[in-house]
Amino acid sequence: MKYDIIVLGSGPGGYVTAIRASQLGFKVAVIEKESLGGICLNWGCIPTKALLKSAQVFDYLKHASDYGLTIKEYDKDFNAVISRSRGVADGMSKGVQFLMKKNKIDVIEGAGKIKPGKKVAVDNNGTVTEYSADHIIIATGARSRELPNLPQDGEKVIGYRQAMTLPEQPKSMIVVGSGAIGVEFAHFYNSMGTDVTIVEFLPNIVPLEDEEVSKQMERSMKKAGVKIMTNASVEKVDISGNGVKATVKTAKGEEILEADIVLSAVGIKSNIENIGLEEVGIATDRDKILVNDFYQTNIPGYYAIGDVVPGPALAHVASAEGITCVEKIAGLHVDKIDYGNIPGCTYAAPEIASVGMTEKQAKEKGYELKIGKFPFSASGKAKAAGAADGFVKVIFDARYGEWLGCHMIGAGVTDMIAEAVVARKLETTGHEIIKSIHPHPTMSEAIMEAAAAAYDEVIHL
């Protein structure tokens, strides 16, 4: 079977790439060995948000009296929460199936392996079929990374996949790593009533964020009952007993933590093994496929996008890369992606959303800064909603007014960050944000107020 484009993998990089290619008139096939939608729809972005929504509703019930409501009896059904999450994921995967049919994209089931001569061999339960295409796009994604001293057995030491489908709620859990995956699961299980401890190797949790955001997140999580150990590392785990004993190294020495389960959330590992890269001669470096600005590898006709290439391992980045890739193949005028304007979101409570440079990064680059910060404690909408934790922080270049960075922590901020992304894309200045009328009362007013604070014009603070 001959195609114009074959996409290896159907995650948010792969299936979006296939749809855009079909829209551009290409004959397209997608190869998937598991479930359409990849990790994001089935084991990542979507089902975790379903779990976190259940946690949010449960938190509302626990604090109903704060809103003048009396609920005498309420409880959780952990298995029902997990089941709801899986149902949401299944529904989204079926939605991708519909999109494949709608766009006349062939879905080939099985494990794909690229071959020289622009071919892909697909193994479906021992039956191998070969396909060819003018262009082959690798979008095989990533999986939970395992540390040598923290091997995952899938029962007592688990990754994110097992964390979404535990047969029963653990009484205690150690979360190793405090990036987005770590803090989201820490928040979920803590909200459900599990005793949670986060162990982070670096000085701050959510270490990629602006330092003020990191410190606020630590305060909020500790207030919610999560124990946090920074500048700490898990040296080894003992799973011989009923639970897990983790030896944690800190500045004060070693201590033993005991828990039912350890969740390893120390990053991801690209899925580049056993897909034929060596046979074809595609260049890699440090677990990533090397590509140019439009995702071409060193071998003509082969491309790669998403978690397997350098850059942020985010679903929306993979989608954008795939669209850019096929539009370039189609001969359209395409600008390369600006990786300095990629938003990042963490969906714990409070949420975190950020784009651009942190204060530290901007100073290191030599900018003279105007920084504005507006707390949600001064926001009428946030106070009315009972969500006064957090703030918006904006960073401008003092000389030209360029918006260098925006960092938010608070309720619903992941739905607010797009304003900063679009504004930065359009090279909007701080004064233009101040003079753009924001609706009242909304959480989004905090962006305008933070910009005004940077220029000493803030009204409500």
Please tell me whether 178 is known to bind a ligand: yes
Q: Residue 383 annotated as binding? A: no
Any binding-site annotation on 261?
Answer: no
The answer to whether the annotation marks 184 as part of a ligand binding site is yes
Say if CB 443 and CB 416 are below 8 A apart.
Answer: yes
Residue 55 contacts residue 192 (beta carbons within 8 Å): yes
Please tell me whether residue 17 adopts helix, strand or coil conformation: helix
68 annotated as belonging to a binding site for a ligand = no
Report whether 307 belongs to an annotated binding site. Answer: yes
Write down the catalytic residue from 187, 316, 407, 440: 440
Q: Show the DSSP H helices in 202-332 as ranges.
A: 211-223, 277-280, 315-329
Q: What is the secondary structure of 126-151 as a DSSP string?
A: TEEEEEEEEEEEE---EEE--BTTB-
Determine whether the annotation assigns residue 181 to a binding site: yes
For residues 298-337, one letter each, b for 16 or more C-beta atoms within 10 angstroms of the residue's C-beta and e for the rest, the string is ebeebbbbbbbbebebbbbbbbbbbbbbbbbbbeeebeeb
180 assigned binding-site residue: yes
User: 437 labelled as ligand-binding?
Assistant: no
Distance CA 74, CA 390 (A): 29
Residue 37 marked in a binding site: no
How many CB atoms neighbour CB 387 within 10 A?
19
Cα gap 358→355, rounded to integer Å = 8
> Residue 359 has which token pair?
């204060």
- Is 431 a catalytic site residue? no
Radius of gyration over alpha carbons of the chain, in Å?
23
**Was 212 annotated as part of a binding site?**
no
Do 33 and 68 form a contact (C-beta atoms < 8 A)? no
Annotated binding site for NAD(+): 177-184, 200, 267
Indicate which residues carry an active-site annotation. 440
Annotated binding site for FAD: 49, 112, 307
